[in-house]
Amino acid sequence: MALSPLVTLARIDDEALVLMLGLGTLALVFYVVHCVRKILETRAREQTKREIAAYVAEGSISPQDAAKMLMSSSEAASQIADGVAWGTVKPEKAEMLIRALGHEPASKGGK
């Protein structure tokens, strides 16, 4: 009994199957690691918020200082951009502030 050409073209040899399964497994492992990392980051962030709230409650730090400590760099960059848009922050100052948020060293010559 001869197989039709379509059936033989649809066959996958063992090496290709192993390669596809290996790549699929690798992709799944990367996805799981990514999800676990995100969960751990969120837990750490929430733990930090709880600890800072406890320090504020006991009076060790002021609420204003706590707010500054909790502001993430992306939130700060967004607020700086809003300040530039509203004209309350000069673009040169905004560039310096954003560079400081990213811990990038300022280049020589003021730019």
pTM: predicted TM-score of the whole model, two decimal places: 0.50
Residue 51 covered by a domain:
yes
- Domain count of the fold of the chain: 2
pLDDT digits (tens, 9 = 90+) for 17-26: 888 899 999 9
Residue 66 covered by a domain:
yes
Taking CA atoms, 37 is separated from 40, 48, 88, in Å, by: 5, 16, 38
**Domain interval for residue 20:** 14-70
Instruction: Report which of 109, 82, 80 is spatially closest to residue 95, judged by C-alpha positions.
Output: 80
Mean pLDDT rounded to a whole number for the chain: 80
pLDDT digits (tens, 9 = 90+) for 58-89: 998 888 888 777 777 677 778 888 888 988 88
Same domain? For 48 and 91 the reply is: no
Same domain? For 22 and 52 the reply is: yes
